[in-house]
Structure 1
């Protein structure tokens, strides 16, 4: 765990605290997780960050679809068994939220796309499209309607054989929320957690209105931010194909899968969603990517406490579409 401390005096000259800025980074869930926080002493900062990273590690063992021993994969191994499987509180909460978003988006967000995701991971490695037969077989195992969750007993049944859940569109947001909660238990509420682009922020830095967050441009993934927003006590997530995609026979396919077609999205876009927490911003960013501009913005406008910015390419030029509540550029 790396640490950087920068002294920052409180904007209020009568305030007794002297704030310090600390930055930590570790690899969690296969990605760099960065934490920026403000505390009044080293021990408080270190203990809070350690607790946050420990929560990331704990949840990765529950929610990962890469680890065959994770709770999620153990549940999937029992798909089609006609058995109700007890699940942990964390997995239950994530599945509850996932199913709620699935119903709201008519399946544009669907954590049962795991069989299709597995095919497209192979496609990216081999740079070869899945066969029609493989797509048909995978699609037969997809459908959030075949996930039966009894929230009261915390039991889940996966009705179809070969179902495979993939929480890649929601797990990072939930985990960042949980990590921030752990930091607050250790006396740190002025914090930002960046989990591979899924960002959760708590109270603002001392003397500031919020955390200033830069949004990467659609066409240049390593370029300077194209826009800035200032947030506090919120989640912000961006979904798009800037980093994960494959080009096959001249066509670019995103890692984001449309369950209706079984294919990765082919229209270039970047979707940024702001919500009250990370689990909501993460899931809705994925859903809006699949829904497209018109239906995606309609979803956001009727979802309380959310806003979105969608950037598309038209004749190789970025076109910006924003919901009514999305913050103006700074």
Structure 2
């Protein structure tokens, strides 16, 4: 088996992706995965002018456009998550995301007036999907879609499908912190996925043992900046307020069968906060979470009790 190990690393979807596969067809499977990553990015990135998402955004307020099956699928799932999770997830957040990106570039939060002007444009119900024609569009001019909270998860599920098609039964992909693990390691042991410490560089709060699972973390330490008053402004925006979430959580890791589900739920729970988030999680059987509050106390859901291993000096509590 050792002769059939293949590794690869490449840029894609705005991040570094790394992969490892075991088996006779490991190398061609990784080439196919890299090609798939670039294909998905060409469909879903709002930063690429020729992507289907960019075309939807440019035609906002007009007729919907014909989209591919993959773009349709990820948009349909995004709307479903938004509907189920009471406004804690909204792919029409792009106008505010762009505004806050300008703020990060200047290390200064946007003016309240600018946020108030754009906030009415954020409404997933204005994303119109026609299941018969397979078209997608936005009702109002100025609206736009950003799949940053679900797109990498969707890609992870696609990668697993490709590995399976190539007969690979043991593989691992890290999509900028979104991890998908197929099967176990070749020796039968589970994959150990580290969870980053939200306040210490190059440190972990612990690791979770998984096989054929996705592990996705959302935290306030990515794409953040300190404003003039020293307050930390991060990239996970509350669709209701237009400001970075202040739910009492600083990191949320979700473990699920589906990478798409884990990606969306990590954002949803981060925005919802501890109590509401755990209540929402009960609607997704077989899905677990590790949540870190502002006091750096780590909360673990019961189904991960035996799989989560805390790092030294990390305080943990297991929910009933």
TM-score by length of 1: 0.89
SS of the residue corresponding to residue 92 of structure 2 reads helix
User: Quick one: distance in 2 between partners of 1:152 and 1:274?
Assistant: 34
Match of 1:27 among 1, 7, 11: 11
Q: For structure 2, list consecutive stretches of 5 or more residues without a partner in the other structure.
A: 310-320
Match of 2:113 among 102, 117, 133: 133
Q: How much has 1:150 moved relative to structure 2? A: 1.9
Map of 1:29-178 to 2, 5 A cutoff? 29-40=13-24, 44-81=25-62, 83-178=63-158
User: Quick one: distance in 2 between partners of 1:287 and 1:34?
Assistant: 26
Is 2:171–2:183's contact at 8 Å kept on the other side of the alignment?
yes
Match of 2:281 among 300, 306, 309: 300
* Alignment correspondent of 2:220: 241
Who wins on radius of gyration, i.e. which is larger?
1
* Alignment correspondent of 2:185: 205
Map of 1:179-194 to 2, 5 A cutoff? 179-194=159-174
* Alignment correspondent of 1:16: none
Answer yes or no: is 1:228 the counterpart of 2:212.
no
Is 1:233–1:277's contact at 8 Å kept on the other side of the alignment?
no
Match of 2:259 among 269, 274, 278: 278
SS of the residue corresponding to residue 245 of structure 2 reads coil
SS of the residue corresponding to residue 137 of structure 2 reads strand
Question: 4+ runs of 1 displaced by more than 3 Å?
Answer: none
Deviations 1:217-243 (A, max 9, x none): 1211321x3212111111110000222
The alpha-carbon distance between structure 1 residues 277 and 311, as it changes in their structure 2 partners (threshold 3 A), is same
TM-score by length of 2: 0.92
Is 2:289–2:300's contact at 8 Å kept on the other side of the alignment?
yes
Q: Report the count of equivalent residues.
A: 306
User: Quick one: distance in 1 between partners of 2:164 and 2:174?
Assistant: 16
Is 2:220–2:234's contact at 8 Å kept on the other side of the alignment?
yes
* Alignment correspondent of 1:313: 294
Deviates more, 1:195-204 or 1:300-309: 300-309
Q: How much has 1:187 moved relative to structure 2? A: 2.0
SS of the residue corresponding to residue 40 of structure 2 reads helix
User: Quick one: distance in 2 between partners of 1:324 and 1:150?
Assistant: 40
User: Quick one: distance in 2 between partners of 1:229 and 1:321?
Assistant: 13
Is 1:301–1:324's contact at 8 Å kept on the other side of the alignment?
no
Is 2:119–2:242's contact at 8 Å kept on the other side of the alignment?
yes
Match of 2:239 among 249, 256, 259: 259
User: Quick one: distance in 2 between partners of 1:207 and 1:75?
Assistant: 47
Deviates more, 1:129-138 or 1:105-114: 129-138
RMSD: 1.5
Is 2:249–2:270's contact at 8 Å kept on the other side of the alignment?
no
Deviations 1:73-120 (A, max 9, x none): 111111111x13211111111011101100111111110000010011
